[in-house]
Amino acid sequence: MSALDIQISVEEGQWPSETELQTLSERVLGVSAAFLAGEEKQPLPETPAEVSLVFTDDASIREINAQWRKQDKPTNVLSFPAFPVTPGRMPGPMLGDIILAQETLTREARELDKPFDEHLTHLLVHGFLHLFGYDHVDDADAERMERLETGILASLGLSDPYGDSDPV
C-alpha cells in the first residue's frame, strides 16, 4: 500500500498550527487507509494518492455548501472526490478534497462533550470515507459507513461516536 500525499491549506478560522494539523491528518488518514485496505480490501495507487485538506470557517463552508449541495448553511465537513469511485475499486491518483469548518466543529465538540481533536479526527475519517465512495444516503449504506468509522476510530483509540444512535 502506498502512503498518502496530504496537502493542507488553512484558510480561515482558529485552527491548530499547520504542523499539528499535518501530524494529526497523516496519522488519522494513514490509519484509515490501512484499515480500508485490510477490512475492505480497498486498493490504492502505487504512487502516494493525494488528498487535499482545507481548514476554513463557517462562512466559507456555507458558500461552498450552497454552491455545490444547494444547502445555504454551514456544515462540519464536505468531501469532493476527484473522480467518481465505488468502494473497493481502484481510485485515481488524486483522491479529492475534504473541507472542514472550525466554528461548527468547535460547537459540535462542546455539545458532544468531546475534545476538539477527537471530533476533528472523526470528521477526517468521515470525509475520507466519502472520497472512497461511501455514503449515508440510505440506512444500509449509513450502517456500513458507520461500522467503518467506528472500526477506524477504535484503531486510533477512540470510542464509537454514534453510541446507540440511529444511522445518520
Q: Note the pLDDT tens digit of each residue in 96-129.
A: 999 999 999 999 999 999 999 999 999 999 999 9
1: pLDDT strictly greater than 70:
no
Can you tell me the distance from the alpha carbon of 60 to that of 73, in angstroms, rounded to the nearest whole number? Answer: 10
User: Is residue 8 assigned to a domain?
Assistant: yes
User: Is residue 46 assigned to a domain?
Assistant: yes
User: Is residue 66 assigned to a domain?
Assistant: yes
Can you tell me the distance from the alpha carbon of 155 to that of 80, in angstroms, rounded to the nearest whole number? Answer: 25
Total length of the chain? 168
User: Is residue 160 assigned to a domain?
Assistant: no
Nearest to 124, CA basis, from 144, 87, 97: 97
Can you tell me the distance from the alpha carbon of 12 to that of 24, in angstroms, rounded to the nearest whole number? Answer: 18
Q: What is the CATH number of the domain that holds 68?
A: 3.40.390.30
DSSP 17: P
Q: How many domains does the chain have?
A: 1
**Which residues are registered as beta bridge partners of 66?**
none
User: Is residue 37 assigned to a domain?
Assistant: yes
Q: Note the pLDDT tens digit of each residue in 4-50.
A: 999 999 999 899 999 999 999 999 999 999 999 999 999 988 899 99
Sheet holding 49-56, edge to edge: 4-10, 49-56, 94-101, 77-81
Report percent pLDDT > 90 for the chain. Answer: 75
Domain span holding position 150: 4-155
Can you tell me the distance from the alpha carbon of 90 to that of 88, in angstroms, rounded to the nearest whole number? Answer: 7
Q: Note the pLDDT tens digit of each residue in 56-94.
A: 999 999 999 899 988 888 899 999 999 988 999 999 899
User: Is residue 166 assigned to a domain?
Assistant: no
User: Is residue 164 assigned to a domain?
Assistant: no
pTM: 0.92
User: Is residue 101 assigned to a domain?
Assistant: yes
